[in-house]
Structure 1
Amino acid sequence: MFDFLDQSPYLLPLMIFFGRIIDVTLGTLRIIFVSKGERYKAPLIGFFEVFIWVVVISQILSRANDMTAYLSYAAGYATGNFIGILIEQRIAFGIVLCRIYTNKNGLDVIRLLKECGHGATLVHGTGSVDKVDIIETVIERKEMKGIAQKLTQFDPNLFYVIEDVRTKQNGIFYKRPSIFSRWRPGK
């Protein structure tokens, strides 16, 4: 199947390097989907991850006998981890709980979140220095950056904590417009 590698042995390190990048990137994404409970996406990605790994490792075991191939394997692994993390940050898959602590009026934060299409819960508390309002909201992870900017504009001294959430149920979650909604009459 890979007889061309016998005529062009310089292609083997490249094949190993890029194969490992794809394999490890898929592995990183698979782990993320497993941790989020995505039981259909994780096995599908795992299938392709292992298939690529078997192809690459078989070529290493049958042909690779120099340091260049071994370094390509290690460099592909490291690069695959890096690219997997970049892709994961880019797709920002999942939902998060954002817990916001402010000395200002928490109702104003709730209004700000409502304008952005998010429900929130307000609790009054006592901090180490003064009284604080604690606001909790559950949002899509990809929206967190924009929300954080608006919160910081509202109160530069605001403190917030973000936690990953596996599932959500029975809350006030505004429906986002779909790209298909404009073609569906009556919606």
Structure 2
Amino acid sequence: MEILSTDFFEGNLFSYLILPLLIFFARISDVTIGTLRIVMVSKGQKLIAPLLGFFEVIIWLITMSKIIQNIDNWVAYVAYGAGFATGNYIGLIIEEKLAVGIVQLQIITRQNAQNLIAKLKAGGYGITHHEAQGANEKVAVIYTIIKRNEVNRVLEIMRTYNPNAFYSIEEVKSISRAASGYFKPNLRWRKGK
């Protein structure tokens, strides 16, 4: 029985199919975790980022040890590269779905912004707005701080009331509780708790 298992691990099926598949999936895992770790570091998540980093490095070390043990196996190299590329793609998709964090949305419109402002306020979004001078005419500038997972909702409101408005989105690392009396995602702040 032991001879069969040793033969299996030294055979072509294992070396050129099973091992590369294991390397491929390990690379997907560690690169996906690495992508999420970088996002958590940029968001200041001091507990989650190191934990993700621990698992990322452990998986990477195991994968690299298998590459070194099979240094003459070109299929393992291809699997390693393909796993890296796929892991980046999957990590970005997961990060997009998680929509972690807070963003500042800036809307600039030449059209009258009163309906848009009223609709954003009615939706519970705190806004700041002012008139400004654009390149050729006066414009309205609207700012709001929202959770990243609410961006599509706010953009739908904008497209409904000012479809030609220009907008930009910036990541926000932190906000001041004192200045966030109308910050919708955390209603406890609104109630003064």
TM-score computed with the length of structure 1 as normaliser? 0.87
- 1:161-180 matches, within 5 Å, as 161-169=168-176, 170-171=179-180, 172-174=182-184
Kindly provide the amino acid, as one letter, of the partner of residue 131 in structure 1.
K
Query: SS at 2:171's partner residue?
Result: strand
- 1:48-63 matches, within 5 Å, as 48-63=55-70
Structure with greater Cα Rg: 2
Question: 2:108 matched to which residue of 1?
Answer: 101
Question: 1:37 matched to which residue of 2?
Answer: 44
Mapped partners of 1:24, 1:127: distance in 2: 44
By how many angstroms is 1:112 displaced?
1.3
Kindly provide the amino acid, as one letter, of the partner of residue 29 in structure 1.
L
By how many angstroms is 1:175 displaced?
5.2
Query: SS at 1:84's partner residue?
Result: helix
Question: 1:68 matched to which residue of 2?
Answer: 75
Question: 1:149 matched to which residue of 2?
Answer: 156
8 Å CA contact 2:116–2:162 kept in 1: the answer is no
By how many angstroms is 1:37 displaced?
0.9
Which runs of 5 or more structure 1 residues have no equivalent in the other structure?
178-187
8 Å CA contact 2:111–2:139 kept in 1: the answer is yes
| 1:117-168 superposed Cα distances (whole Å, 9 cap, x missing partner) | 2100011111112111111000011111121121011012211111111111
Q: CA RMSD in A?
A: 1.9
8 Å CA contact 1:107–1:122 kept in 2: the answer is no
8 Å CA contact 1:24–1:77 kept in 2: the answer is yes
Q: After TM superposition, which residue ranges in structure 1, 4 or more long, deviate above 2 angstroms? A: 3-10, 103-110, 174-177
Query: SS at 1:99's partner residue?
Result: strand
TM-score computed with the length of structure 2 as normaliser? 0.84
Question: 2:123 matched to which residue of 1?
Answer: 116
Question: 2:54 matched to which residue of 1?
Answer: 47
Deviates more, 1:69-78 or 1:100-109: 100-109
Mapped partners of 1:100, 1:88: distance in 2: 24
How many residues end up aligned between the 2 structures? 176
* Identity of matched residues, %: 43
Deviates more, 1:17-26 or 1:121-130: 121-130
Question: 1:27 matched to which residue of 2?
Answer: 34
8 Å CA contact 2:103–2:171 kept in 1: the answer is yes
By how many angstroms is 1:108 displaced?
2.6
